[in-house]
Amino acid sequence: MNILVCLKQILDPEVPARDFRVDAARREAEQGSANLVTNIFCENALETALQLRERAGGATITVLSYGRPTAEDSLRKALAMKADAAALVLDEGEGTPDPLNVARVLAAAIKRLGAFDLVMTGREAGDWGAGQTGGLLAEELGLPCVSFVDGIEVEGGRLRLRRQTDTGWELFEATPPVVVTVTNDEHNVPRIPKVRDVMMSYRQPLTKLTPADLGLAADGNDYYEVAELSIPQKETRCDFAGGDTLDEKVEAFARHVVEVTRGM
């Protein structure tokens, strides 16, 4: 079985709010002293693939990223986690590509890299959190798609996919090829690579492509554009429930509770 896992490199989502800045003019987050990391749901996807390979055997895992040259780090880490092959499509454009742009590039790269039975993405990324890449990629590839998957089994050439829903879970049967988006679960926490494998990963080959290599023109964003980006003024001051009596104070507190829960 041939598995392809898409990985996105993003700004560390754990950067403290007080260190987080945006460039309002360019409508992008500033990196500051924060690191770039692999999106966690993408790592969950890779981990799910690795476990599938361990159980099913005979599978190969290719990791693919569309991003800046630094995205190579994410791919190297995936190789250290024991992905079999890696490819990077270099994003040479200005600004952030929209989800459809990304899906088109990934789809073209996937067609170039070979035939895959299973194409995996994270459910969404920790930066823009659009949650669209998987679905749009399925459409671009003309494949069916199952979202929020947290477990995959192979059964006689068919896949059994477990996915999380609002109220519980659903079990799918799918005939490959299929696209799945992966969500986190206690079973797909990404493994820590062995140090030896980390060192080896830098000696492994890595395919580098550009959108032009794939016959795609840099069109700019025709799907959506970020019109505004701002940091909301966070109310850090605690509004202490006031009042002369306990009853009044609790009343004020209760009003706050109602206000918050109403808006959900």
Touching another protein, residues 28-67 (CB under 8 A): 29, 32-35, 37
Is 239 a binder of another protein (CB under 8 A)? yes
The DSSP output letter for 19 is G
Stretch that binds another protein, among 12-20, 54-62, 106-114, 204-212 (CB under 8 A): 12-20
Cα–Cα distance between 89 and 103 in angstroms, integer? 12
> Of 35, 79, 47, 24, which is closest to residue 182 (Cα–Cα)?
47
Cα–Cα distance between 56 and 152 in angstroms, integer? 10
Stretch that binds another protein, among 63-71, 111-119, 171-179, 201-209 (CB under 8 A): 171-179
Indicate which single residue of 94, 165, 215, 244 sits in contact with another protein (rule: CB under 8 A).
165
Indicate which single residue of 51, 56, 113, 131 sits in contact with another protein (rule: CB under 8 A).
131
Indicate which single residue of 170, 202, 212, 213 sits in contact with another protein (rule: CB under 8 A).
170
Instruction: Between 22 and 212, name the residue whose CB sits nearer to another protein.
Output: 22
Q: Which of residues 95-124 bind another protein (CB under 8 A)?
A: 99-100
> Of 36, 39, 54, which is closest to residue 6 (Cα–Cα)?
39
The DSSP output letter for 18 is G
Question: How many C-beta atoms surround the C-beta of residue 171 within 10 A?
Answer: 10
The DSSP output letter for 20 is -
Find how far residue 110's CA is from the centre of its chain: 17
Closest separation in Å from C-beta 61 to another protein = 18
Is 209 a binder of another protein (CB under 8 A)? no
